[in-house]
Amino acid sequence: MSQQALSSSLSHSPAALSRGLLLLMALAAGMSVANLYYNQPLLADVGRDFGVGPDAVGFISTCTQIGYALGMFLFVPLGDIKERKGLITVLLSLVCVSLIGVATAQNLPWIYIASFAVGITTVVPQILIPLAATLAAPGEQGKAVGTVMSGLLFGILLTRTVSGLIGGTWGWRFMYAVAAAAMLALLMLLRMKLPQNRPMANIRYGQLLGSMGSLVKRYATLRESALIGGANFAAFSVFWTSLSFYVEGEPYRYSSQIAGLFGLVGAAGALGAPVIGRIADRLPPKWIIGLLLALNLVSYLLFGAWGGSLWALIVGVILLDLGVQGAQVANTARIYALEPAARSRINTVQMVTTFLGGAVGSTLGSYAWRHGGWHAVCLAGGGCVLFGFAVWALHRLRREAPAVS
């Protein structure tokens, strides 16, 4: 397949990304990614309603995550060949229906299917991120990506608190009804505010999916970025999967509600993502990524050596979230520069790898806690960070072509 077939001519229209629109896109990313995590604090309530145990009801989360991974692979690349505003409208319509399906579920198979549908249609954030980079003025792509990704991370971190409060007060079905109404409101707002955005590639869908393998083969930086993203999110998931178990015991003895407040602490780290984006617009992102990986390692040193001290735990949470989110922003800024016409496909490679790393990290965190306690958790998370650091260091030792540096 020729490069000409992969890319159409780019329109050099002025950037259409105002500050208000950028903040709206960040809000939309956070609101829509929240659909993936509403179920986590509510699984016990769902299980009691259906009269089933933790294993059966826990499969709801699995169905959601499997759907999300598949949705990223199938739908996010369409942003390169379809008008993104229309694509977002369709996906938000489908996720509204899916959320209503969860809210009205009468049995486990029903809620499994509806949860899978929620996951596969909740990919709007991964369409908004490359759209923000496309609409941003030259030299401001990193700032735009960082702002939207901050909204994404806020959504991930704060959803559990919101879901526990609303679902615990009025029931899990009401929580999903509120989520469906929120997606309908978001659909109408984005339909009014988002500008039209012409696709940059003119290829068939089958070629589109197949070309992602070619992109991975062609760009060493994309391979490095995806592996670092997976390693970082694995370290992130190791910690957050195990934290509630740790703080419920000695020396903290916190309730699950207080444990959930650590998500608010982590959100403080997410505030640094736009700053990292601005720095990535001015300095080589590869060196910023190395520094942020070092921050992740420091966070795990704090957890392991002084995890029994609340101040060390809080500082470590802030550093970990800043490091993970900041590295993702810096990585995204540099891989989007590889081939502007393929940004949606490049984002698919990056995010599918990142969330696969997160799934591995969740499993690893549970296993480490069960068999070795908090110190094993810190070793597992620190090992994930060291893997990402090794990938970064080895890539620095290789001679990179100018197009992929």
Domain count for the chain? 2
Residue 9 lies in a domain: no
Instruction: Identify the DSSP state of 81.
Output: T
- Give the pLDDT band of residue 351 (cuts 50, 70, 90): confident
Q: What is the average pLDDT across 212-220?
A: 90
Q: Are residues 183 and 331 in the same domain?
A: no
**Amino acid identity at 317:** V
- Determine the 3-state secondary structure of 105 from DSSP: coil
Picking from 99-108, 176-185, 215-224, 283-292, which range would have the lowest pLDDT averaged per residue?
283-292
Distance (Å, whole) CA 54 – CA 62: 12
Distance (Å, whole) CA 102 – CA 46: 11
- Angle, alpha carbons 100-106-110 (nearest 5°): 70
374 token code pair: 């908090």
Note the pLDDT tens digit of each residue in 339-348: 888 888 898 8
Whether pLDDT at 130 is above 60: yes
What are the strands, taking DSSP E only, across 154-222? none
Distance (Å, whole) CA 141 – CA 280: 9
Residue 215 gets the label, from left (phi > 0), alpha (psi -120 to 50) or beta, of alpha
Q: Are residues 183 and 300 in the same domain?
A: no
Q: Are residues 324 and 305 in the same domain?
A: yes
Q: Are residues 233 and 347 in the same domain?
A: yes
Q: Are residues 195 and 214 in the same domain?
A: no
Distance (Å, whole) CA 126 – CA 152: 9
In Å, what is the CA distance from 362 to each residue of 52, 164, 183, 238? 23, 20, 28, 5
Return the number of other C-beta atoms located less than 10 Å from residue 283's C-beta.
12
Residue matched to tokens 């986590």: 40
Q: Which of 177, 199, 221 is at the close of a domain?
A: 199
pTM here? Answer: 0.74
SS3 helix, strand, coil % of the chain, rounded to 5?
A: 80, 0, 20
Q: Which of 173, 199, 225 is at the close of a domain?
A: 199
Q: What is the pLDDT of residue 43?
A: 75
Task: State which residues form the domain around 65.
Answer: 14-199
Q: Are residues 139 and 219 in the same domain?
A: no
Residue 215 lies in a domain: yes
Whether pLDDT at 56 is above 50: yes
The CATH number of whichever domain residue 304 belongs to comes to 1.20.1250.20
Q: Are residues 189 and 244 in the same domain?
A: no
Q: Are residues 88 and 124 in the same domain?
A: yes
Residue 372 lies in a domain: yes
- Give the pLDDT band of residue 405 (cuts 50, 70, 90): very low
Name which residue leads in pLDDT, 252 or 22.
22
- For CA atoms 150, 152, 154, 157, give the dihedral sign: negative
Distance (Å, whole) CA 123 – CA 145: 16
Q: Are residues 334 and 213 in the same domain?
A: yes
Q: How many helices (H) and strands (E) does the chain have?
A: 17, 0
Distance (Å, whole) CA 255 – CA 48: 21
**Amino acid identity at 19:** R
79 token code pair: 């942003």
114-130 residues labelled b (16+ CB within 10 A) or e (exposed):
bbbbbbbbbbbbbbbbb
Note the pLDDT tens digit of each residue in 151-208: 887 887 788 778 877 877 888 999 999 999 999 999 999 999 998 877 766 778 888 8
Residue 92 lies in a domain: yes
Q: Closest Cα partner for 322 from 277, 376, 358?
A: 277
Q: What is the pLDDT of residue 322?
A: 85
Q: Which of 199, 224, 250 is at the close of a domain?
A: 199
Residue 58 lies in a domain: yes
Instruction: Identify the DSSP state of 80.
Output: G
Residue 164 lies in a domain: yes
Q: Closest Cα partner for 227 from 388, 367, 82?
A: 388
81 token code pair: 């060949």
Q: Are residues 173 and 286 in the same domain?
A: no
Residue 4 lies in a domain: no
291 token code pair: 């520094």
Q: What is the pLDDT of residue 2?
A: 40
Return the number of other C-beta atoms located less than 10 Å from residue 214's C-beta.
14
Q: Are residues 309 and 333 in the same domain?
A: yes
Residue 1 lies in a domain: no
Q: Are residues 183 and 240 in the same domain?
A: no
Q: Give me the chain's average pLDDT, please.
A: 83
